[in-house]
Structure formats: structure tokens, C-alpha cells
């Protein structure tokens, strides 16, 4: 491999617990943080095609097992994160930009329509990949077009019609990842936009356990119901396995109380799913992605 032409940071045996919001997970065999989008493209072009690849933004919707990831992790947080306005009222956002940063940027421009992004605890790439939503709005309602990146480093412009978009799921051309998006905004009142963001964040902090290691919502809401209600009705608030606990504040959150392993969290996810199904007949689907190898005894 030609390491010389690359400008990013390349590390080996990197603990993924440092890069996920749950603060758990084993090591990545290889971990690359590109300098910018051109460096990311160059990196992909020289990566062996058989190498397993995991994209990592804020690590807020991800459970990495204790055995880690035997492949390469590409981390876009803090690097592939440009945000700018184009002349036609579109905001152009690279995939590593945090959703909250995009919401604040758009409000400062005196534009509206993306306030809800302030409530999504991840990057734009993650929001695009799962059609993340908050406060009744979802990401893809705002998407005019995206740029995708293939395994070989090829950039392509795609439109919503190229994807099957549903609740918390997006299916597109295989082997492509989101590099950037053009989001639709409207002219509006900058103070009203900023006040809306502040209101939404206050609502979130009242109803969710902000400040403790969690991944946001663990399960998708089933049709016409809420995962949190079903979990609470099954008597699972405060349920503990090892260092993992179902939040007393919001039952669809699992908290790392300090010493949790990924295995504790995964076992708690399974217990919630089984107990809710036994009580209500509904089998909850995870919203969080679980990746990597089982750890010792897993």
C-alpha cells in the first residue's frame, strides 16, 4: 500500500470505545481519519477490495462488540465536515458534519427547515443512511441530491429517486456511501429559527438522559406505537445487566453506568426484545447497528 500520498491519520489497533457514544467496543485493526474529501477518495482507491470497511461518524448509533472490528474503520468526524450555502437556498453538507452543527449554521443564515436536525445526535452521513428524524421531521424530506462514494473512490451524484426511503431505513445502490448532501431550506426569520432549536433541545433534555453514555434510541417505533411505552409497560425501566441499564428517564435508552461492556448492552437489548414480545406480541427492531466480533465468552 502506498501510505506516502495520504495526508490523514492512520492508526492500528485503535480502541473503538474512544469513538462511540456508548463508550464500549473492542479495537479496530486499522483506523483512518482522512484529511478531507480528496484524501478520503485517495485512501479508498488504495484500499484492498476485500478489506472489510466500517464508516464511523459520531458513533452515536453504533454498538461495536467487545472483540472489535477486523477491518478498516474510516472516521469522518471532524474532517469531512464542510457546510456551505449554495446560491439557490440549498445547504451543501459533507457527511462528517454533525447534524446539530448543520441546524445552527442554517439558522445563522436566516434560513429555516432544518431545525429538527439539532435533535439528532450524529453526523449527516449517519442521518442520511438511516433517514434519522426528530420532532416529527425526517432527513430525506429535505434532500435535493446527494453525492455517494464507491469502494473504489468514485464519486457520483444521486437523487432521492435512486433510493428506497422508509422509516429509519434507506436502501440505495450497493457498495456506495454518502459523501455529501444538498438540503432544501427556506428563507425565514433567523431569531425564530434559533429559538425553535433552543426549544427543541430543551424538550429533548427534559425527556432524554442527555450527558450519560447512550446511543440515542435503541429500537425503532413500531407502527402506531412507541418502543419506550412498550418497554416501560413490560416493567423494564431501570433493568440492569452488568454496567448496562434501561434509562429511568426514557425507556428506549440504554445507559452505560460506567463499567458496561458491549456484551452487557447486547444482552440487555435481547432481554428487552424478548420480554416486550412475550408481553405484547410485538418484536421490536433495533435502530442501532451492531457490528464486530463477539468478545471473550460471547
- Could you list the active site residues? 168, 217, 287
To which residue does cell 474510516 refer? 74
Angle at the Cα of 240 from the Cα atoms of 238 and 242, rounded to 5 degrees: 150
Scored b (16 or more CB within 10 A) or e, 273-284 reads: bebbeeebeeeb
* Cα–Cα distance, 280 to 129 (Å, whole number): 30
Compute CA distances 23 → 17, 87, 99, 131, 244, whole Å. Answer: 4, 40, 20, 24, 11
Amino acid at each position: 500500500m502506498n501510505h506516502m500520498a495520504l495526508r490523514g491519520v492512520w492508526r492500528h489497533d485503535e480502541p473503538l470505545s474512544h469513538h462511540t457514544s456508548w463508550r464500549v467496543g473492542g479495537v479496530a485493526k486499522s483506523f483512518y481519519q482522512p484529511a478531507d474529501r480528496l484524501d478520503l477518495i485517495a485512501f479508498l482507491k488504495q484500499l484492498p477490495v476485500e478489506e472489510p470497511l466500517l464508516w464511523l461518524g459520531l458513533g452515536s448509533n453504533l454498538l461495536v462488540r467487545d472483540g472489535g472490528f477486523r477491518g478498516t474503520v474510516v472516521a469522518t468526524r471532524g474532517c469531512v465536515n464542510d457546510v456551505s450555502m449554495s446560491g439557490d437556498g440549498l445547504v451543501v453538507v459533507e457527511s462528517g458534519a454533525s447534524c446539530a452543527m448543520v441546524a445552527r449554521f442554517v439558522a445563522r443564515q436566516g434560513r429555516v427547515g432544518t431545525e429538527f436536525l439539532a435533535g439528532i445526535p450524529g453526523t449527516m452521513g449517519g442521518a442520511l443512511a438511516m433517514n434519522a428524524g426528530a420532532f416529527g421531521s425526517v432527513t430525506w424530506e429535505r434532500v435535493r441530491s446527494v453525492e455517494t462514494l464507491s469502494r473504489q473512490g468514485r464519486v457520483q451524484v444521486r437523487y432521492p429517486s435512486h433510493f428506497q426511503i422508509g422509516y429509519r431505513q434507506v436502501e440505495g445502490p450497493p457498495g456506495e456511501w454518502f459523501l455529501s448532501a444538498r438540503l432544501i431550506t427556506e428563507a425565514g426569520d433567523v431569531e425564530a429559527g434559533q429559538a425553535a432549536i433552543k426549544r427543541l433541545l430543551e424538550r429533548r433534555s427534559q425527556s432524554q438522559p442527555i450527558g450519560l453514555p447512550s446511543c440515542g434510541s435503541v429500537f425503532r417505533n413500531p407502527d402506531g406505537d412507541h418502543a419506550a411505552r412498550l418497554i416501560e409497560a413490560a416493567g423494564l425501566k431501570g433493568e440492569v445487566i452488568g454496567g448496562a441499564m434501561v434509562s429511568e428517564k426514557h425507556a428506549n435508552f440504554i445507559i452505560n453506568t460506567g463499567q458496561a461492556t458491549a456484551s452487557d448492552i447486547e444482552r440487555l437489548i435481547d432481554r428487552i426484545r424478548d420480554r416486550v414480545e412475550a408481553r405484547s406480541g410485538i418484536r421490536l427492531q433495533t435502530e442501532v447497528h451492531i457490528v464486530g466480533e463477539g468478545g471473550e465468552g460471547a
